[in-house]
A = this chain, B = another copy of it.
């Protein structure tokens, strides 16, 4: 164990294990999590070569091998709880997606939700037993977010009672689905349904794409891998071009809408049935933001106490770089963010479950709020975490750039969350739509409830910038609940400003749509402020439930830092709305520095509390024992380029060059 990191742990002012329980949601959860880790990490069947030393084909190969093993082990151990399966998988493929992810997370659940009983009989058990391996093919090369723009067609032929599927243009080629390129033999294809000359919009079809025995592509199917990406090297994200592919009528997923044998189309009872899944996935992504950021902070903070560099006082030994104020200022606000997002992730899961029960009882009233909240928080947390991971990487100096640090991998595997499951700007605008609608309802005299109830106050206010600026600020900057309050007022004012921008555009005789588009910057800003408020509020609320004094104290410091750092970064908003005075903003800057010093002795303990197993972290810089350099040297020597002392290019190019010059 590195002596620096031992000393850090001795200096911690709270019980790390107890904080871990809070983060996991209870000691039993921590125990079970560690049991699962131990099952995977002690299992020689899951030994692997560092993927960084493999070609892409080898990486894919290794991932398929381990996924196949995983399926066998899960059955052997009888692990069936979805959350436990998810965690087991995250240990088998630490920090990496796998080729079977869409089969497990999209193909099977879609069958469960949308297949008729007859279809379940035909498809579910073969899929459960991995004879059928499936994916979910929605996005096309020229079409993403906007579902109505998708071009793939499924035309019903009553003569043969078949659908004929086609990719009519280059831009309609299915593109991106994970596991589509090489792994799957079936795909659920989203296509525009045509029957009896009419288009009935997007529907889902089960399309066999490869032969069940030979795995060769079937006639009319052009399928393959879309090529290397920033990350996701283990996954065969694929393309699929359909050329007059015929499937039986019974392959349309018909639980809700139907096509009768004669071609008659029967509409689904409700169009909002798929909302739940979207909300669930986006809630999960909020948790993903927390996990990716927790990992990054663990690596950067542990390495910052092991690394000595430069000098603060001449003649003294080089200090730990975490003693530099600039390093603390880079990392501690992100540590606070990691905690904030962890609690927001828990909060999202809780309300998802609560509202799911409402939905099951037929009560849809909370769905719009949950939908808006999950969209906005997905965007807010992924954008913030995305930048934060890179700050962590760069705070490690040159070594953060080495694959041995794991930080490049964390980034490339995480950054797609900003784009998939709803592009972030589009998500922010969806949340804004809900906020503006709520604002208008409040102005019209409706009493709002839930998270947007703060908009009720807008009834009584007329925002005039100058007038606002003159309002005397009364906030106590050292009181977190005061800060929650001004975050709330900032959100209220920015929602109001966005709504007024739309109003002004309309007065210039713009259409509703152009007025909306010409206010989009303000709308995104309003959503951002709303989400920021929610995060600060959730962190504040979480503190109320923490009984342990020492932990309460350190978490309060983190929460205050999170709130105050956010104010310094957005001080213009708070000054503009006169929520804070100039002297208060200056005081907050000074307080931020004090909070950094307060957190310094607990920094390593706070990342230790995330309790991320070394094999999950996979980082020489972030090792629990702090023995960084010897292990980095060890790792480098295993690099494939060191397999021979002399690379063949010397004999091929460099030596012959001498005689030519």
Contact = CB atoms under 8 A, between A and B. Distances in A.
B224 A639 contact: yes
Contacts of A469: 582
Contact of A585 (B215, B390, B576): B576
Given A571-B576, A646-B216, A171 B629 contact: yes
Nearest to A173: B633
A144 to B, nearest CB: 5
A507 interface: no
Interface string A494-509: 0000000000000000
A294 interface: no
A623 B522 CA distance: 33
Interface in A574-594: 574-576, 582-583, 585-586, 589, 592-593
B639 A227 contact: yes
A544 interface: no
B394 A418 contact: yes
Interface string A65-107: 1011001100100000000000000000000000000000000
Interface string A522-562: 10100000000000000000000000000000000000000
Given A228-B639, A401-B416, A657 B71 contact: yes
Contacts of A227: 52-53, 402-404, 635-636, 638-639, 641
A52 B141 contact: no
Contacts of A142: 307-308, 629
Contact of A64 (B309, B318, B654): B654
Contacts of A68: 653-654, 656-657
Contact of A61 (B133, B426, B518, B649): B649
A50 B65 CA distance: 28
A641 B170 contact: no
Given A64-B653, A661-B71, A56 B314 contact: no
Nearest to A183: B654
Nearest to A61: B649
A647 B230 contact: no
A181 interface: yes
Given A216-B645, A641-B57, A429 B326 contact: yes
A450 interface: no
Contact of A324 (B323, B517, B568): B517
A365 interface: no
Contacts of A429: 326
Contacts of A632: 141
A146 to B, nearest CB: 4
Interface in A483-499: none
Contacts of A323: 517
Contact of A520 (B324, B466, B589): B324
A415 B326 CA distance: 20
A544 B648 CA distance: 56
B657 A130 contact: yes
A419 B403 contact: no
A160 interface: no
A570 interface: yes
B466 A583 contact: yes
Contacts of A64: 647, 649, 652-654
Contacts of A418: 394
Contact of A226 (B133, B144, B402, B573): B402
Contacts of A522: 589
Contact of A397 (B144, B226, B465, B637): B144
Nearest to A210: B646
Copies of the protein in its oligomer: 2
Contact of A313 (B310, B511, B652): B511
Given A56-B641, A139-B398, A229 B144 contact: no
A4 to B, nearest CB: 12
A640 interface: yes
A51 to B, nearest CB: 10
A652 B225 CA distance: 19
A325 interface: yes
A217 interface: yes
Given A72-B661, A398-B420, A225 B642 contact: yes
A343 interface: no
Interface string A376-405: 000000000011001000100110111110
Nearest to A314: B513
16 contacts: A60-B649, A61-B649, A64-B653, A139-B398, A181-B642, A182-B646, A182-B649, A215-B646, A227-B404, A230-B403, A230-B408, A330-B425, A390-B390, A465-B583, A465-B586, A572-B573
Interface of A: 52-53, 55-57, 60-61, 64-65, 67-68, 71-72, 75, 129-131, 133, 139, 141-146, 148-149, 170-171, 173, 175-176, 181-183, 214-217, 224-232, 236, 239, 307-314, 318, 323-327, 329-330, 386-387, 390, 394, 397-398, 400-404, 408, 412, 415-416, 418-420, 423-426, 429, 465-466, 468-469, 511, 513-514, 517-522, 524, 568, 570-576, 582-583, 585-586, 589, 592-593, 629-630, 632-633, 635-642, 645-650, 652-658, 660-661
